[in-house]
Amino acid sequence: MAETAQLRLGEKTIDLPVIEGSEGETAVDIRNLRSETGAITYDPGYANTGSCQSSICFIDGEKGILRYRGYDIQDLAANSSFLEVSFLLIYGTLPTPSQLEYFTRSIRIHTMLHEDFKALFQSLPKDAHPMAACSAAVGALATFYPDSLDPRNDRQVEISVHRLIAKLPTIAAYAYKHSLGQPFMFPRNALNYVENFLHLMFANPCEDYEPDPVVAKAIDLLLILHADHEQNCSTSTVRLVGSSMVNLFAAISAGINALWGPRHGGANQEVIEMLAAIRDEGMTAREFVDRAKSADDTSRLMGFGHRVYKNYDPRAKIIKGACDEVLNKMGVHSKLLEIAKELEEIALKDDYFIERKLFPNVDFYSGVIYNAIGTPANMFTALFALGRLPGWIAQWVEYHGDPDFKIGRPRQVYVGETARSYQPLDER
């Protein structure tokens, strides 16, 4: 591969350095383009823009490969736990037994929220969307821990990281409990990470509750599969917001908001609502697929398509298998799963989807599992946020250690009015 690329602009030719990634990915370094030519690049949606060099996550969208820190997602899904994967993403290596024990213990002892925090949830309307509640609550963590907000103090960052991973399940579950008008449960630190989350969500003070290990394992798997996905919309948001040197809680709160959108993490809620609508309106899967293809209809086949995967999303394959297994073990027959499989079968044979390389993504089947275990649809994206949290943290930490760290500040091509004279109000 050439070490420089040449760009000719008008009469001028300039050399641009070429960077090659460890998997052979090539990038043209345009940092000096504007100073040397006066021109900038134009790339709406940043589809061809590398915003950083990163060693956390590798995706080959053509081959359907996803790796965290070099480990294949299938291996991690089969052998690891979510906390182990969180450690891997944040610290770069798989933990030794004693590192994992220390990390797990530290997460366990930080699961409680300050008692005053409960007033924050109580002040929200009952029908507040959990993603709005989660982002508000995560932002509010900065008000409770003003002594650990310095992004360049390693000890403060470590404690904030552990607090966030420990408290986000409590925050998400409290958002849900508030919507039901049920009392908030205290965390049970004897349970593992996911079992504790299930307890916070589904237990109440009047009855005994033991989390189902089959369900806990399935949720743990889903969290692993969602844990990182390189420079997607919410992760780029966390990096960009973090680049202002704001504290970690503020950057993660922004990431939660970015994830909420239906073109991103919010798609998992939209998928289940789409499946339920097909069931309830008596529509056939074929009819819905035709609607999603029609230029006159704004419906999309939610859970299909991906900016990077143009072959298949490896996470979708794993989740589809897990879906069958969990529902079988729980003895649940899901009409929604039947509809999802039918939609997939039709779409994968349809020229519209084949030509545009649209395949099921991570969100297509995850909602079927969440639904089967009794999670309301508006909580699905909050579960995605729980999973994505270590990835956001890892990317934020990596950027703060990057020698190329600088505040994110894209340019624009201005196409508005040129200079004109001001008209006083009474002359307009």
Which residues are catalytic, by number? 306, 363
| 307 interacts with ligand ACO by CB under 6 A | yes
Tell me the residue number closest to ligand ACO, measured at CB.
305
List Cβ<8 Å contacts ≥24 apart for 400-403: 400/151, 400/152, 400/157, 400/242, 402/52, 402/53
| 302 interacts with ligand ACO by CB under 6 A | yes
The length of the chain, given as a count of residues: 428
389 DSSP β-pair partners: none
| Count of chain residues binding ligand ACO (CB under 6 A) | 18
Task: Give yes or no for a contact between 368 and 328, defined as CB atoms under 8 angstroms apart.
Answer: no
The span of 107-115, 133-141, 180-188, 297-305 binding ligand ACO (CB under 6 A) equals 297-305
One character per residue 252-271, x = contact with ligand ACO (rule: CB under 6 A): -----------xxx-x----
Please, what is the minimum distance in Å from the beta carbon of residue 384 to ligand ACO? 7
Please, what is the minimum distance in Å from the beta carbon of residue 42 to ligand ACO? 16
| 31 interacts with ligand ACO by CB under 6 A | no
Give the Cα separation of 267 and 361 in Å (integer).
Answer: 10
17 DSSP β-pair partners: 4
The span of 123-131, 303-311, 372-380, 395-403 binding ligand ACO (CB under 6 A) equals 303-311
Is 32 or 294 the residue whose CB approaches ligand ACO more closely? 294
Is 149 or 258 the residue whose CB approaches ligand ACO more closely? 258
Dig out the tokens for 343 from the structure: 């939609």
Give the Cα separation of 269 and 260 in Å (integer).
Answer: 10
Among 169, 187, 211, 305, binds ligand ACO (CB under 6 A): 305
| 317 interacts with ligand ACO by CB under 6 A | no
List Cβ<8 Å contacts ≥24 apart for 176-179: 176/130, 176/201, 176/376, 176/379, 176/382, 177/121, 177/201, 178/121, 178/122, 178/124, 178/126, 178/128, 178/133, 179/126, 179/127, 179/128, 179/130, 179/376
Please, what is the minimum distance in Å from the beta carbon of residue 89 to ligand ACO? 17
| 170: nearest Cα among 252, 223, 114, 119 | 114
| 256: nearest Cα among 181, 164, 182 | 164
Q: Evaluate the CA torsion angle 261, 265, 269, 273 in order and state its sign.
A: positive
Please, what is the minimum distance in Å from the beta carbon of residue 68 to ligand ACO? 16
Give the Cα separation of 306 and 347 in Å (integer).
Answer: 15
Burial track 28-38 (b if 16+ CB lie within 10 A, e otherwise): eebeebeeebe
Please, what is the minimum distance in Å from the beta carbon of residue 226 to ligand ACO? 8
Is 47 or 413 the residue whose CB approaches ligand ACO more closely? 47
One character per residue 277-296, x = contact with ligand ACO (rule: CB under 6 A): ---------------x----
Please, what is the minimum distance in Å from the beta carbon of residue 96 to ligand ACO? 32
What dihedral angle (degrees, nearest 10) is formed by the CA atoms of 214, 219, 223, 224? 20
Is 300 or 329 the residue whose CB approaches ligand ACO more closely? 300
Please, what is the minimum distance in Å from the beta carbon of residue 350 to ligand ACO? 10
One character per residue 357-396, x = contact with ligand ACO (rule: CB under 6 A): -x--xxx---------------------------------
Residues that bind ligand ACO (CB under 6 A): 263-265, 267, 292, 300-307, 356, 358, 361-363
